Amino acid sequence: MKKVISTKHAPEAIGPYSQAIEVNGMIYTSGIIPVVPETGEIPEGIQAQARQALTNLKALLTDAGSGMDQVIKTTVFIKNMDEFAAINEIYAAYFENDYPARSCVEVARLPKDVLLEVEAVALKE
C-alpha cells in the first residue's frame, strides 16, 4: 500500500509531486533542495546549501518514521562538479559509518537555481 509523506519541516513540493512516498517499508523521497522551510530562503554558497538540503532530508525522513542511518541510496545532483569535495565534507557529517550507496551527477540547472539537490531511498524504522 502506498502512503504519501508530507511535512512542514522540509520544503513543500513546488509541483505535482509528493515530498516522499512510503511503500512496503521503504521511503522514497523526491529531490530535496536547500530551501529553509520556515522562511523560503536559500542559503548562499555550496556548503551552506549542502547543509540545508541534508537538514531538510533528515527532517523529512524523521517525520516519515525513518532516519539518516536508514538511508540505503542517495542521488546528489550538483551544478558544478568542482564543488564535489566541499559537498562530500558536509555529506559525511550527516551519515555515520555504513554510508549509503550514492550517485552524484552534474546538471545544467536545478529548481530555483540552487546549487544541489538530494534524493534518497530509506528503510522505515
Q: What is the pLDDT of residue 39?
A: 96
Q: What is the pLDDT of residues 67-110, one digit of tens each?
A: 999 999 999 999 999 999 999 999 999 998 889 999 999 999 99
Q: What is the pLDDT of residue 96?
A: 84
- 121: three-class secondary structure by DSSP: strand
Q: What is the pLDDT of residue 46?
A: 98
**Sign of the dihedral through C-alpha 113, 20, 95, 63:** positive
Assigned C-alpha cell, 17: 509531486
Tell me which of 8-17, 34-43, 104-113 is least confident. 8-17
Domains and CATH numbers, the chain: 2-123 (3.30.1330.40)
117-125 average pLDDT score? 96
Strand partners, 123: 26
Q: With beta carbons less than 8 A apart as the criterion, state whether 69 and 57 touch.
A: no
Q: With beta carbons less than 8 A apart as the criterion, state whether 42 and 49 touch.
A: yes
30-43 average pLDDT score? 97
- Count of residues for the chain? 125
Q: What is the pLDDT of residue 107?
A: 98
Closest CA to 19 of 114, 125, 120, 102: 120
Q: What is the pLDDT of residue 78?
A: 98
Q: If you average pLDDT over every residue of the chain, what do you get? A: 96
Answer left, alpha or beta for residue 47, where phi above 0 means left and psi between -120 and 50 means alpha: alpha
Residues 6 or more apart whose CB falls under 8 angstroms from that of 98 comprise none
